[in-house]
């Protein structure tokens, strides 16, 4: 294969993809989400994590069919271009690229934050919010560089490096759960300081996004993004998604149970909202030391380097493949789409490395960046149901090793739940996302003209007539709602409004899909590019 070849290498089997998915989902989130969910929702943070997992599982089922039908690298950005055109594709690509690009810096920051318990010069803490110091930020740079080098070596090196990491990342959370449950499980903790649900359903639902409950589960998408390099993707992708999601949901829920049950009276003395002040930058490690489990604490400090590294390793490659897909769609310079001799989009990966370094400056702490990433990536998930329904009409004859039962109601439910998660992220984050999307819509015509040699076509522009009401409606409800908004809409009514908005937009998006002949021509071209 030459350095200019654009055909991916099919080098990853089912076990390899399973380890990729698990490694993507068990990163820094398992180290922090139990604490932050409890801080937002009390013991009911356990429910927040379960709800987040179930929501993402339902959405993942939609992507299982889409990914099996069109197993192309960078699928989440490529597929909307095939079903609804440039504006839909560019919007998804922009959101995904922003979210994926930030994950590697986020995971590396988690490593440094945990290390700051041993090396205080790396981070500072103010009112429970940890931020990296100048020395902490500088320490991130060589770590990110190593992740880039491994990914540039290609998908085989990525899979081989990730396999042992994934085994470790599965083993240590399970070990932590078992040891904590055996050593200390205090039933009274589950009703302390206001009962099981001290902040009501508002706290439970808010913790789904802002407590970090959803962030870990979003790693399932790495399977879709690497679908172009999978062997027998029509069968492999659905099985891997189901197995990986089920494994990780159980692990995260049991970690939350073990965390709440093992809290000491001193750690609960200030109430649930002060947990981060009592458990340090490394919650599980600090609690292990308090329980006299120094050996486990040392393993946890070691895992604070291993688990985030594995997730960052995967997302570095995924972000590069998403950039490559944008270039294939005519939304980025052509060299970004080129693969090196190892089959990796090296140019895209190196460009993302430089931009990722810049993100360390305005977002120098794990919690600061986490909600933004969660809302950004979940917002783009709403396009999965849109694409599934369109593809069933545009390409009904394409092979489907996995066909989602009750496809219409499950797709509608997935779209509504994705909108809920974005809303729960709060107005402060959602207004930023709206500005990003609006800016993308303004620059897209010029980007397409420069890199694809054409202006957006009328068929591509039609997507604005369903996307604009969707993003605008979410923004209005978020601004008037109960999660960082003005609180002018009654709880419950806000969710009803979002559900109705989403269902109307889903129906409108189906009416404004590309005509079947146009979509089929694009699909055949994409499959030919992917060597399918």
pLDDT per residue as tens digits for the range 79-136: 888 899 888 988 988 888 888 888 888 888 888 877 777 778 887 776 656 777 888 8
Please determine, for residue 317, whether its predicted confidence score (pLDDT) is greater than 70. yes
User: What's the pLDDT at 267?
Assistant: 87
Signed CA dihedral, 364, 368, 372, 377: sign only: positive
Residue found under tokens 């492999």: 236
User: What's the pLDDT at 486?
Assistant: 93
User: What's the pLDDT at 159?
Assistant: 55
| Residues linked to residue 129 through DSSP beta bridges, in sequence order | 126
Please determine, for residue 188, whether its predicted confidence score (pLDDT) is greater than 90. yes
Determine how β-strand 123-126 pairs with β-strand 129-132: antiparallel
Q: What is the pTM of this model?
A: 0.83
Average pLDDT over residues 470-493: 94
Residue 447 in any domain: the answer is yes
Residue 9 in any domain: the answer is no
**278 token code pair:** 């009592």
Residue 32 in any domain: the answer is yes
Other CB atoms within 10 A of residue 387 CB: 29
Please determine, for residue 43, whether its predicted confidence score (pLDDT) is greater than 80. yes
Q: How many domains does the chain have?
A: 1
Full residue range of the structural domain in which residue 192 is found:
14-529
Residue in 69, 10, 91, 65 with CA at minimum distance from that of residue 519: 69
User: What's the pLDDT at 481?
Assistant: 94
Q: What are phi and psi of 426, to 5 degrees?
A: 100, 155
Highest mean pLDDT among 87-96, 140-149, 341-350 belongs to 87-96
Report the C-alpha gap between 375 and 422 in whole angstroms: 5
Please determine, for residue 9, whether its predicted confidence score (pLDDT) is greater than 50. no
CATH number for position 481:
1.20.1740.10
Q: How confident is the model at residue 162 (pLDDT cuts 50, 70, 90)?
A: low
Q: Which of 49-53, 211-215, 254-258, 411-415 has the lowest mean pLDDT?
A: 211-215
Residue in 258, 277, 307 with CA at minimum distance from that of residue 108: 307
Q: How confident is the model at residue 453 (pLDDT cuts 50, 70, 90)?
A: confident
Report the C-alpha gap between 117 and 392 in whole angstroms: 53
Residue 47 in any domain: the answer is yes
DSSP state of 8: P
| Mean pLDDT score across all residues of the chain | 83
Residue 82 in any domain: the answer is yes
Report the C-alpha gap between 343 and 201 in whole angstroms: 48
Residue 6 in any domain: the answer is no
User: What's the pLDDT at 494?
Assistant: 95
Report the C-alpha gap between 230 and 68 in whole angstroms: 10
Report the C-alpha gap between 218 and 80 in whole angstroms: 19
Report the C-alpha gap between 342 and 156 in whole angstroms: 8
Report the C-alpha gap between 444 and 436 in whole angstroms: 12
Residue 108 in any domain: the answer is yes
User: What's the pLDDT at 279?
Assistant: 72
Of 450 and 11, more confident: 450
Other CB atoms within 10 A of residue 362 CB: 8
**289 token code pair:** 């030391």
The answer to whether 373 and 102 have CB atoms below 8 angstroms apart is yes
**228 token code pair:** 């172009």
The answer to whether 237 and 71 have CB atoms below 8 angstroms apart is yes
Report the C-alpha gap between 525 and 248 in whole angstroms: 36
Residue 233 in any domain: the answer is yes
């Amino acid at each position: 294969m030459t350095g200019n070849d654009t055909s991916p290498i099919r080098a990853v089997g089912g076990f390899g993809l399973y380890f990729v998915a698990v490694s993507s989902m068990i990163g820094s989130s398992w180290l922090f989400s139990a604490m932050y969910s409890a801080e937002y929702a009390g013991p009911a943070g356990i429910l927040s994590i379960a709800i987040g997992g179930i929501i993402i599982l339902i959405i993942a089922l939609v992507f299982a069919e889409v990914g099996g039908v069109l197993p192309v690298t960078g699928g989440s950005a490529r597929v909307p271009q095939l079903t609804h055109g440039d504006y839909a594709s560019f919007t998804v690509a922009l959101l995904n690229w922003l979210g994926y690009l930030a994950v590697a810096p986020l995971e590396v920051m988690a490593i440094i934050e945990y290390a700051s318990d041993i090396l205080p010069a790396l981070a500072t803490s103010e009112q429970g919010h940890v931020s990296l110091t100048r020395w902490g930020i500088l320490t991130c740079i060589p770590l990110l560089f190593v992740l880039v080098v491994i990914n540039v070596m290609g998908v085989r090196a990525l899979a081989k490096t990730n396999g042992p990491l994934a085994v470790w990342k599965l083993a240590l959370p399970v070990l932590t759960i078992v040891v904590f449950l055996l050593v200390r499980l205090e039933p009274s903790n589950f009703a302390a300081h206001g009962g099981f649900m001290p902040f009501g359903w508002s706290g439970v639902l808010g913790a789904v996004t802002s407590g970090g409950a959803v962030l870990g589960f979003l790693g399932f998408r790495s399977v879709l993004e690497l679908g172009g390099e999978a062997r027998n993707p029509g069968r492999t992708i659905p099985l891997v998604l189901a197995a990986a999601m089920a494994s990780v949901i159980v692990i995260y829920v049991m970690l939350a149970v073990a965390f709440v049950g093992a809290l000491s009276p001193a750690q609960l003395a200030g109430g649930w909202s002060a947990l981060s002040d009592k458990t340090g930058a490394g919650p599980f490690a600090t609690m292990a030391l308090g329980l006299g489990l120094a050996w486990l604490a040392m393993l946890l400090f070691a895992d604070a380097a291993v688990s985030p590294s594995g997730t960052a390793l995967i997302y570095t490659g995924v972000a590069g493949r998403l950039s490559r897909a944008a270039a294939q769609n005519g939304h980025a310079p052509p060299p970004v789409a080129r693969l090196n001799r190892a089959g990796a989009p090296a140019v895209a990966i190196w460009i993302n490395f430089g931009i990722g370094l810049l993100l360390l400056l305005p977002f120098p702490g794990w919690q600061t960046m986490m909600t933004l990433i969660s809302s950004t990536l979940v917002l783009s998930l709403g396009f999965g149901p849109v694409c599934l329904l369109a593809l069933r009409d545009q390409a009904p004859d394409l092979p489907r090793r996995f066909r989602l039962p009750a496809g219409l109601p499950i797709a509608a439910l997935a779209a509504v739940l994705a909108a809920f998660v974005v809303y729960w992220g709060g107005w402060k984050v959602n207004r930023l996302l709206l500005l990003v999307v609006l800016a993308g819509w303004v620059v897209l015509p010029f980007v397409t003209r420069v890199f694809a040699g054409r202006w957006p076509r009328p068929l591509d522009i039609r997507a604005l007539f369903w996307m604009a009401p969707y993003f605008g409606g979410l923004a209005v409800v978020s601004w008037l709602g109960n999660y960082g908004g003005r609180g002018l809409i009654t709880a419950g009514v806000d969710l009803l409004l979002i559900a109705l908005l989403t269902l109307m937009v889903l129906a409108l998006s189906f009416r404004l899909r590309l005509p079947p002949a146009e979509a089929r021509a694009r699909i055949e071209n994409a499959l030919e590019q992917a060597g399918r």
